[in-house]
A and B are shown apart, each in its own frame.
Chain A
Amino acid sequence: MHRTVRSTAVCAALILVAVGCSKSTPTADHSGSGVGSIVEGGVLRIGSSSNIDSLNPFKAFQQDAYNVFQYTYPYLVGWDTTNLTLVGDWATDWTWNADNTSVTFNVMTNGKWSDGQPLTAADAAYTLNLLIKYPGPTGLEGGYARHIVSAEAPDDGTLTIGYEAPVNEDWALSQFQQIPILPQHVWSKEEGDAGKGLRTFTNDAPIVSGGPFTLTKYSKDEFVQMDANPGYYGPKPHIEGWGLKFYTNADAMVSALQNGEIDDVESVPAAALANLKANPNLVVSEAPGIYFDDFIVNSNKPLHAELLDPKVREAFDSAIDRQSMVDTVLLGHGAPASTIVSPSTGHWHNSDIAPTPYDITHANDLLDTAGYPKGSDGIRTADGKPMTYEILTPSNVDGVDREFEIIQASFQQIGVKVTQKSLDPSAMFDLMAGANYDSYDNFDLALWDWYPLPDPDFILSVLTCQQYGFWSDTGYCNKEYDTLYNKQGLIVNPTERETVVWQMQQMIHDDRPYIIMMNRNVLEAHTSKWDGFVMSPIGSFTAYSKQTLLQVHQVG
């Protein structure tokens, strides 16, 4: 999702995990990584620039809330960040029926909730049935139970889930990866009238937890304390616990790391990287990210109709100097990009599509040929009107002003004049979506960014017609694309699904509702007293895997 949204909504899905630790992934870099024996115990102090809005999974929207849920609750599956595959978390294995309309999970029966109650498959069945029964009150979690019609637990270790139609296994598992399993004995008392109690339950600390850690202390906008849960079903973590301290200033957070006030920061500004690398007491980690920055062309009813001309879009694409953006905006910590599915997601990325080369001559030729002559002032005209456009930019995206300046300078060379209008994300989306959030008739161009998930389903979905008013920021609506989107979620054969996903990327590349500009690298840092962080395209501390905090340890 858009970075902006990351702060308000994100999480629920975002961030995933992908790619692996530096030791097994040649593309990741851990400069100064320490080597030493594992020292058990200690509390890892993590600095975060996000925060937690609620401890109730049916109400929370913020990224760190979901990071905390990942370690607080059992999940049936999680992402293995070393190879970007979904593996068992609480589930040991699963079996699909012949027509992919039902899946049976075997879950571990050795776990206990932190209040001593047994953790069984009945808790999972209860949670899934809540989502089916109360799609409204269960909020965003309810969306992950799409197509599920039944969930049953014939015994403590078995969970059977039924679907209304055959589904793709990868897609279905990626949905389970988003659903925390809740303790039935706690939540069944909170349902209230028609499930409304599910949204008013505050789920205060200490939270009854089934994951490796228990949330024992929470101070809003300040701090979270997590202690190891002795009843956890999996291998015991090396640490006694961890804490999350929230910062509203990234520079201060980095300074706190250098001061030794915290041990790890989730995200390091590129400008601070050189300083941190020079510090022998710190370890800097870098990996290619799945995040990307995009140039948006209104694909419904732009204020200037010529923007619907494919040749104009192609010319714009050629006139964007991606390498210059990477060098100046990201200080080299990124790469020119080509499609909405980033290369770091592995096989889902359509590698046949290369980043469009920066070629002003070609862009000028395209516009000349398409019939947009330059006027005496050097600005081209379309239907007698100057090709002058306003580019909307979100006020909270790092480097977006510089991106605009680079585009402005290049576009000037092709006879197109652009001006910038900076808005806060909410106002910007309001303007883009138009009246009733479905007209998309009040803007021409925009810059924004996305934080997609490891599975391509989500980022592909944002360009469907159904996303008008929700995630669509392009006004793109193509029935053929929608058909492919629906198809990819239901194709049982993984290879066939990959083919459709590649086809959809090609379609977006050709239609250019988005012109993808660059992928941002993930940048993290921690003190050399700690090791075991599992780096991925969305960072090591995520809502999609328990790997890092189960492996992290002090160095002896």
Chain B
Amino acid sequence: MRGIDFILKRTAFALITVFVAVTINFVLFRALPGDAITNLSKVPGATPALRAELTKEFGLDKSKWAQYWVYLRKLTTGNLGVSYSTQEPVTTELWRAVGNTVPMVLLGTLFSIILGVITGVLAAWKRRTSLDYGSVGVALTFYSLPTHWLGLMLLLLTAGYLPRGGREDEFLFDPSFMAHWLDVGKHMLLPSLTLGLVLYGQYTLVTRSAMLETLGEDFILTARAKGLPDRTIVRRHAFRNAMLPVITLVALSVGYIVAGSILIETVFSWPGVGLLVSRSVERRDWPVLQGAFLLLTISVVFFNYVADLLYYEFDPRITT
């Protein structure tokens, strides 16, 4: 019963969070100065008729309450509206961008998790050695670097070896299956590497901290007293017990994968969610912004929810 109660509470909390986010998304973007009509009607030869047509077409001639009601009503059927600037369905725009973003960000996130956990474990295991100082120092340095600057530096360093931007070389007409995927991989390498390098520091620090705490526990002392080798202690006893905070961080990171990265996608001309959001802000494209932030909200809430459930499963303290 206690378990069901926990799940129900968490589910209700997640649903309320999403609803509140939906409302905030609606209000937030309309609080920005400027609007899409002013932008779109700035064309030579623009007439009041064009402005009136656009206002009516986007439903902006209605009151804010009426617009909110229409927005909620459409949401119940999964309709996120139509982009002001491209006039494509927002779902079409979002899915296309998500499809581009997820592989690149996922690769970068996996890279950061693996590198961060390895360096974190090593730093804790070899505490107060040059390996500890070195790995933490390098991780912190990358974590502190401006993302776009690191991206530009990597572009400079790899000039002549890796593509400068985009998701693929569209001028490779009729490439073979292998040639195509090799090309896609080459294009993905730099943006994913940039993301991975910027993110891995947080995993290093969290893992190191959790490992140090675990390595100071009595059961580790017992294991040492039993004469177990260091590697076994670290791998079988310390590492597994130190993974709880890392699981939380991973769940949060996975939740943000669909958000992409505005800076990385801009530097590498990657047509993902980050770039879509950035352009939509410039154009005051409210439906796209609402859709993108709703997607992000649902993703983050969902993966937090999953993390809660995992905690319930793995951390006996919650159920006692």
Interface residues of A (CB under 8 A from B): 1, 5, 7-14, 43, 45, 53-54, 59, 61, 135-137, 139-140, 142-144, 146, 175, 178, 199-200, 202, 217, 219-223, 225, 243, 245-249, 251-253, 255-256, 258-259, 261, 396, 423-427, 429-431, 433, 437, 453, 458, 461, 469-471
Would you give 26 A-B contacts (Cβ < 8 Å), ordered by A?
A: A7-B282, A8-B283, A9-B40, A12-B45, A54-B86, A61-B43, A139-B53, A140-B43, A142-B45, A142-B50, A220-B93, A220-B271, A221-B271, A222-B271, A247-B164, A247-B269, A248-B275, A251-B155, A258-B159, A261-B164, A424-B282, A430-B33, A431-B33, A470-B41, A471-B42, A471-B46
A251 to B32, CA, bound (A): 30
Other-chain contact of A5, B42, B85, B93, B166 (Cβ < 8 Å):
B42
Partner of A248, one of B47, B50, B269, B283: B269
B81 CB within 8 Å of chain A: no
Q: Which residue from chain A places its CB closest to the CB of B86 in the assembled complex?
A: A53
The secondary structure that dominates the A interface is: mixed
CB closest chain-A residue, reference B44 = A13
Interface residues on B, range: 35 or more
Residue of B44, B155, B269 near A14 (CB, 8 A) is B44
On whether the beta carbons of B165 and A458 are closer than 8 Å, the reply is no
Q: How far is it, in angstroms, between the C-alpha of A471 and the C-alpha of B166 when the chains are bound?
A: 34
* Choice from A142, A175, A220, A243 contacting B47 with Cβ under 8 Å: A142
Chain B residue at minimal CB-CB distance from A424 = B282
Q: Of B43, B156, B267, B275, which is within 8 A of A12 by CB? A: B43
Q: Are B87 and A221 in contact (CB under 8 A)?
A: no
Apart from A142-B45, A248-B165: 16 A-B pairs, beta carbons within 8 A? A8-B42, A54-B87, A139-B53, A140-B50, A143-B44, A143-B45, A143-B47, A144-B45, A243-B170, A259-B163, A424-B34, A426-B33, A427-B32, A427-B34, A429-B34, A458-B44
Asked if A256 contacts B32 (CB within 8 A), the reply is no
Residues of B within 8 A of A136 (CB): 49-50, 52-53
Partner of A61, one of B40, B88, B163: B40
Q: Is B102 an interface residue (CB 8 A)?
A: no
Residue in B32, B40, B50, B93 whose CB lies within 8 Å of A143:
B50
Q: Are B42 and A9 in contact (CB under 8 A)?
A: yes
Find out whether the CB atom of B45 lies under 8 angstroms from the CB atom of A426.
no
Interface string of B154-192 (1 = CB under 8 A from A): 011001100111110111010000000000000000000
Complex contacts, B34 vs chain A, CB 8 Å: 424-427, 429-430
Structural contact, A261 and B53, CB atoms closer than 8 A: no
- Do the beta carbons of B159 and A259 come within 8 Å of each other? yes
User: Is residue B39 contacting chain A, with contact meaning CB distance below 8 A?
Assistant: yes
Residue among A45, A253, A430 making CB contact with B164, cutoff 8 Å: A253
Q: Which residues of B contact A59 (CB under 8 A)?
A: 86-87
- Picked from A1, A142, A258, the residue with its CB within 8 Å of the CB of B42 is A1
A220-B96, A256-B164 known; A248+B170 contact, CB < 8 A? no
* Inter-chain contact A246/B269, CB cutoff 8 Å: yes
- How many whole Å from A458's CB to the nearest CB in chain B? 5
The CA of A230 and the CA of B120, in the complex, are separated in Å by 63
Q: How far is the CB of B173 from chain A (nearest CB, A)?
A: 8
Verify B167–A222 contact, CB threshold 8 A: yes
Q: Is B208 an interface residue (CB 8 A)?
A: no
Query: Which listed residue, B47, B54, B88, touches A135 by the CB 8 Å rule?
Result: B47
Give bound CA distance, A258 to B267, whole Å. 17
- Beta-carbon contact of B38 and A429 below 8 Å: yes
Tell me whether A140 and B33 are in contact (CB under 8 A). no
B160 surroundings in chain A (CB, below 8 A): 259
Which chain B positions have C-beta within 8 A of A144? 45
B38 engages A146 (CB within 8 Å): no
Name the residue on B nearest A427 (C-beta): B33
A1 touching B44, Cβ below 8 Å: yes
Given known A142-B50, A252-B269, A261-B164, contact A13–B171 (CB-CB < 8 A): no
A259-B164 CB under 8 A given contacts A246-B269, A426-B34: yes
A10 to B170: give the CA distance in the assembly, Å: 26
